[in-house]
Amino acid sequence: MGITDHIYQVLKKRLENGNYPAGTRFPSESTLADEFSVNKMTMNKIVSMLAEQGYLIRGNRGAGTRVAENRTRFKGALAFLGQLKPYSTRILSGMTAETTRNDFMTIIESPRIEELQYRLQLLKNQGVTGIVSIGYGIPEPPQGMHLFCVDCAILPSIRQERVHFINSDNFQGGQQMMKEIMRRGHREILIFSSERFAASPNASVTPRIRGFHEIMKQNGIPDFEERTFYGAPNSLADAKRFLQLYLKRYPASTIICTDSDGSAELIHRAAWEQGIECPGKIALTGFGDVTRLPVASINQNPERQGELAARHLISFASGAPPPEPLMEIVDTELTGAENIPILIS
């Protein structure tokens, strides 16, 4: 469990136990940040989550935050299963918007893998009827519960009862990015993937790479596979090795296209440590729209994914489960295209 999840659970338990009486002023974010030794931005996110769950009421600027006196009587409860990282937090935001509109409670859980099934059973005992999961593979929900796997590979071969899938159109996103790269005149292109097993049909990034390759092929770049490097997840050493090998092999390269914003950040750091201006001397793109780097990326609409998953689960709880598992695909959108340099031929 990360520090954000831990603090959230501690404060939620205090509120449920009455440590902070209803109607009283909740401790300031500065005070709580000092208590838990975190920055104010982290504490602001946690307090916002508690407010979304109905535990707190935020006042106008300067008025502070108060403990809710009468929490909404919820019609039901869903659970969010995942670590609170930038991308998954956006999924949670879409989910809570939908549960709030329907007077459903959202419970946030970030269990260790070894306690996953136990925690799922506890959630069922608390009246939770549906789960939105990211980053936990495909857990088996307890009898009577439905589960939506968000942003994971959609695998028809393992379809099982009460397990549903929702993802962005990764192939579409790959095509959107490469089409824009081509439109801006780039032909000397390198591709970096931080998923060593990206060639596996089970990997989420595989459709993105296929989308890149498809457009390159259509535009007369036949050696697209040779221009693609598959590294290990989060390996700075592999990112450095890629730059050393591929920039020597393809010295005329003008842009590096990556399979994720995390991969783009790896390349950016590796280039900086090797004295290469990137983005700059060579352009760079990401995928996911969560990086602060000035690069083009692909918005996978995670808020929409969370919203749709919650909408389905609320419908199931009302007695309208589907006859078979659902598989939904959400459209992607290119962002930051202006960060791709236009080449003059």
pLDDT band at 280 (very low <50, low <70, confident <90, very high): confident
pLDDT band at 198 (very low <50, low <70, confident <90, very high): very low
Give the model's pLDDT for residue 216.
96
Secondary structure (H, E, C), the chain: CCHHHHHHHHHHHHHHCCCCCCCCECCCHHHHHHHHCCCHHHHHHHHHHHHHCCCEEECCCCCCEEECCCCCCCCEEEEEECCCCHHHHHHHHHHHHHHHHCCEEEEEECCCHHHHHHHHHHHHHCCEEEEEECCCCCCCCCCCCEEEEECCCCCHHHCCCCEEEEEECHHHHHHHHHHHHHHCCCCCEEEEECCCCCCCCCCCCHHHHHHHHHHHHHCCCCCCCCCEEECCCCCHHHHHHHHHHHHHHCCCCCEEEECCHHHHHHHHHHHHHCCCCCCCCCEEECCCCCCCCCCEEEECCHHHHHHHHHHHHHHHHCCCCCCCCCEEEECCEEECHHHCCCCCC
Domain boundaries along the sequence of the chain: 3-67, 76-168+303-330, 170-299+335-339
Of the listed ranges 36-45, 47-56, 74-83, 321-330, the one predicted with least confidence: 47-56
| Mean pLDDT within 25-38 | 91
Instruction: Reply yes or no on whether the pLDDT at 253 is more than 80.
Output: yes
Give the model's pLDDT for residue 286.
96
Give the model's pLDDT for residue 163.
87
Spell out the CATH class of 3-67: mainly alpha
Give the model's pLDDT for residue 159.
61
Share of the chain above pLDDT 70, in %: 92
Greater pLDDT, 139 or 247 = 247
| Mean pLDDT within 327-344 | 94
Look over the chain and give the mean of its residue pLDDT values, rounded to a whole number.
88
Q: Which CATH number fits domain 170-299+335-339: 3.10.28.10, 1.10.3720.10, 2.40.50.140, 3.40.50.2300?
A: 3.40.50.2300
Greater pLDDT, 98 or 110 = 98
Instruction: Reply yes or no on whether the pLDDT at 19 is more than 90.
Output: no
Spell out the CATH class of 76-168+303-330: alpha beta
The predicted model scores a pTM of 0.77
Share of the chain above pLDDT 90, in %: 53
pLDDT band at 314 (very low <50, low <70, confident <90, very high): very high
Give the model's pLDDT for residue 320.
77
Same topology between domain 3-67 and domain 76-168+303-330: no
